[in-house]
Chain A
Amino acid sequence: MRTAGRGPKSARPRFPSDREAPMQKALKKYAAFFTLPTLLAFAVAFLAPFLIGIYLSFTKFSTITDAQWVGFGNYAKAFEQGGDFLHSLGFTACFAAITIVSINGIAFLFALMLTRKLRGTNFFRTVFFMPNLIGGIVLGYIWQLILNGVLYHVGQTVISDATYGFWGLVVLVNWQMIGYMMVIYIAGIQNVPQDLLDAAAVDGASSGQVLRHVTIPMVMPSITICLFLTLTNSFRLFDQNLALTGGQPGKDSAMLALNIYQTFYGTPGYEGVGQAKAVVFFLLVAGIALLQLRLTKRKEVEA
């Protein structure tokens, strides 16, 4: 067992790096023990498939081993005029825009209501949060029943037109995510220092003003993370889409993730195109996420 070696106490100035060195050296010997399992799993589950995926997007293939290089051919096919990919992109983008605003707006409202020390706050919080625990597939079928039941009265079903599928998904995802975001907002609101609120009240601010000038700026970090979560969630939506409409009618209500899945597994000969679409999907999601984080991080205020 090594003991940390240090010079005579009076002789050397102490820098953080001096104190780290013995631990660093001791730990480095155990790099494999601490990181190998994770690294191996990560390599197999993510890293290798990711790199292989990028490669495959430039090839025509059906299993990995029979790939033939086609350059940007797959990407061209993915974006061809009037293609379903662009349609899915538009559908997904609209969906994301609407749900981000509605989920966060409503969740914030609910959070405001539940931070007023009303009776039964716990019960309400449970009820609003519960949908989030239910899996995407189950959610899709619950709402398929409800929406078909409602739409019956106008002679339609949730798959007779993509518009119904669209709004059905909007309702479903709102139901699912409002509770989750609400919980985060509640914590954020509860963290606003009481003295700030008191000071504002003393200064004669109306509750609207307090909200805009004190609460919201202080809650900005929660807003950042909620926007991030709803954004990435909406773009990546799959299970609910599959269950509620299966992309029907045709492929009109398929969002990006489902579209890619159907290209891979439902369209023989198009695996390469599917992979190309997936690369584009990844760049889109990563790009938007990073952009959003950068924009909202700037608005955060230190207490």
Chain B
Amino acid sequence: MFLVLCVLSLAFIAPVLVVLMNSFKDQFSISSDEAFHFPTGDTFVGFQNYVGGVEKTDYWNAFGCSLSITVCALAVIVLFTSMTAWYVTRVKSRYSSALYYGLIFSMVVPFQMVMFSMSKLANMLHLDNPAGLVALYLGFGAGQAVFLFSGFVKSIPVDIEEAALIDGCSPIQEFFLVVFPILKPISITVAILDAMWIWNDYLMPYLVIGSDYKTVPIAVQYLQGGYGSKDMGAMMAVLVLSIIPVVVFYLFCQKYIIRGIVAGAVKG
């Protein structure tokens, strides 16, 4: 069985290794007939593809853009949706039910349904910049986040919160000093799930800020577009560069990622 798993692992890593290997070859040697050939003396070009790829896509800018958007969006989502989820779970009113069910509903609606109107609306409201995109991610990610937070809040005994109120806390103090710290595990879950979504998202950034800014997925797709010949070397290099941060992130946060996925699924 161990052997079987080893073979399977190799099969799973193989595609990435093939891309890695090709990223060191001259761009005209990455054609379909030579896709699986190891770089030789003739075809090896060192890091040339990486330099070229980074230049063509303005990769570091795209990376910075992706990073800042993802980090800001995560902070905004965790902060505002936890507050909303707490309110919606603790207060029984028509407003709160309407908001909750509206948010849950948005989880089953595919992006294509809203993409056109959303991008036009974003344009009209001057949200077609990275800051606006972060607000849009809040709106779009609120459904799942509130769902996950609510599930968790329901399991917190009301007594703790009541005690705080009796002691003279305002609800704001109560939320930030008492409730929010207890929400840490589910906050991490929400952050991980949303990080994976936002970092890799192509269509929404493309439609909303694509004409002025690039994120990593947009940069990758950019190499494909155009009617000239595709620079396969640059493509391979950029693919590798796109995979590295994700792998690093995983290796550092493995425990939380796995926990987050399981928690997300269980609450679902």
Contacts and interface: CB of A to CB of B under 8 A. Distances in A.
Interface of A: 1-4, 19-20, 22-24, 26-31, 33-35, 37-50, 52-53, 56, 63-64, 110, 113-114, 116, 118-120, 123-138, 141-143, 145-146, 148-149, 151-152, 157, 175, 180, 183-184, 187, 221-222, 225-226, 228-229, 232, 235-236, 238-239, 242-243, 246, 256-257, 260-261, 264, 271, 274-275, 277-279, 281-282, 285-286, 289-290
Contact of B84 (A35, A124, A221): A35
Interface string B111-151: 11111111011100101000000011111101100100000
Contacts of B140: 45-46
B114 A131 contact: no
Interface in B77-112: 80-81, 83-84, 86-88, 90-93, 95, 99, 102-103, 106, 108-112
B121 A135 contact: no
Contact of B242 (A48, A63, A135, A149): A135
Contact of B12 (A128, A141, A235, A261): A128
A82 B93 CA distance: 50
B112 A261 contact: yes
A37 B138 contact: yes
B114 A49 contact: yes
A110 B11 CA distance: 14
A183 B258 CA distance: 7
B75 interface: no
A138 B242 contact: yes
Please report whether the interface of chain A is mostly helix, strand, loop or mixed according to DSSP.
Answer: helix
B24 to A, nearest CB: 14
A113 B4 contact: yes
B12 A48 contact: no
Contact of A225 (B113, B142, B172, B268): B268
A46 B114 contact: yes
16 contacts: A38-B138, A53-B113, A64-B121, A114-B5, A127-B9, A134-B246, A137-B200, A152-B33, A236-B111, A242-B202, A243-B224, A264-B116, A278-B110, A281-B112, A282-B112, A285-B110
A47 B216 CA distance: 28
Contacts of A125: 258
Interface in B204-232: 216-217, 220-221, 224
Interface stretch (B44-52, B57-65, B247-255): B247-255
Given A127-B13, A278-B110, 13 more contacts: A4-B162, A20-B92, A31-B91, A37-B138, A38-B81, A120-B2, A137-B220, A138-B243, A149-B35, A228-B268, A242-B202, A260-B112, A264-B116
B109 A175 contact: no
Contacts of A50: 106, 109, 113-114, 117
B9 A130 contact: no
B244 to A, nearest CB: 11
B89 to A, nearest CB: 10
B12 to A, nearest CB: 5
Contact of A44 (B15, B116, B139, B220): B139
Contact of B136 (A45, A183, A222, A246): A45
A146 B15 contact: yes
Given A27-B87, A39-B99, A118 B19 contact: no
B87 A131 contact: no
